[in-house]
Chains A and B, each alone.
Chain A
Amino acid sequence: MRRTVLSAMALASTAVLASTVPAFADGASPTPTARRSATAAPAPATTAPTRAPSATPAPTTASSEPSAVPTRAPASRQVSVVPSGAPNTGVVPVSKQSGAGGGLIGGGAAAVFVVGGAAVFVVRRRRATGA
């Protein structure tokens, strides 16, 4: 009888701990962690550093033509300057503090083991005292 009660207590305490751990994992952001704001300010980049269309070799590296308006590309493509690479249009939401989350989950598991061990100890002690 007592064994059953003690087993049930151990189970209940583990269930309580189990329900708290996902809550930690969800909101594990102690600080706002301003993630690299990929672009500080979008506006004044009118210099167009790389003139992408590569059809014309453009041999003059020191071509300091002052009259070259950036939007009017030499090769009249509809997109006058083709960007390099793929756009980075997504900063992942906060759920990725995997270090902190992992720590909390590990801590929760350890706590569960401690409770389980305590339950075992109590059961053994009760039995030793002649229950």
Chain B
Amino acid sequence: MTLPSRRAFATAAMAALLVGCGGHGADRATTAHRRSTPPPSPSPDKAVHALGRSVPVTLRIPAIGVDTPVIQLGLASDGSVQVPPIAAHDRAGWYRHSPTPGRIGPSVILGHVTVGTYGDGVFRHLARLRRGDRIVVRLENGTTAEFAVTSVRTVAKAEFPADAVYGDVDRPELRLITCGGSRTGDGYLDNVIVFAALSSATP
């Protein structure tokens, strides 16, 4: 093989190599792992009165542009918590075996981070929340409960902190849960959990 031929062949080979690398890079670029975990800390505001029982109907999180209806969720057949249906405009879901928002205890609301072919889920940017951000829940009886974020945690699913999420507390609190972290074949390795406490309520 002559010199120019070698050059041409080497150029083609290099280009092919770059093509292969480029394809994988594009695939991975979306899985940037952000572990934004300010340490959980108790919230100062504690003097807000607990509300009566009334199921949540809408959820607003202005900091990340969430404004969604809230459905009710129970348990799946395997004993895990149900999640909202995979749909184009997915909604958040309140776990009905937890207190309603504003009652004393941890009220649990879940939403998808992504919904497969439909793209982003309602809680796509949940991990961007910061301490002090507002979460507004409107209840069926017309009351609006406003919560303030106390901490955001990203935890491995294998080490899901059930006690911290579902355990008893001495004031009205809220948990927002979605998935996050690295992706595997069809899911995520981590959960993003937002802890919030009731800051005000308007009838």
Residues of A within 8 A of B (CB): 3, 6-7, 10-11, 14-15, 17-18, 21-22, 25-26, 29, 32-43, 45-46, 48-50, 52, 70-71, 77-96, 98, 101, 104-106, 108-109, 112-113, 115-117, 119-120, 123-124, 127
A84 and B79: CB pair below 8 A?
A: yes
In the assembled complex, the CB of B37 is this many whole angstroms from the nearest CB of chain A, namely 16
A36 and B186: CB pair below 8 A?
A: yes
B11 and A14: CB pair below 8 A?
A: yes
In the bound complex, how far is the Cα of B93 from the Cα of A124, in angstroms? 68
- Report, nearest first, the 7 A-B pairs whose CB atoms are least far apart: A116-B12, A78-B105, A90-B179, A14-B15, A86-B160, A83-B81, A45-B74
CB-contact partner of A101 in B27, B75, B184, under 8 A: B27
* Chain B neighbourhood of A127, CB < 8 A: 2
B16 and A109: CB pair below 8 A?
A: yes
In the bound complex, how far is the Cα of B116 from the Cα of A8, in angstroms? 43
B75 and A48: CB pair below 8 A?
A: yes
A92 and B23: CB pair below 8 A?
A: no
**B194 part of interface (Cβ distance < 8 Å):** no
* Chain B neighbourhood of A21, CB < 8 A: 19, 22-23
In the bound complex, how far is the Cα of B8 from the Cα of A6, in angstroms? 8
**B39 part of interface (Cβ distance < 8 Å):** no
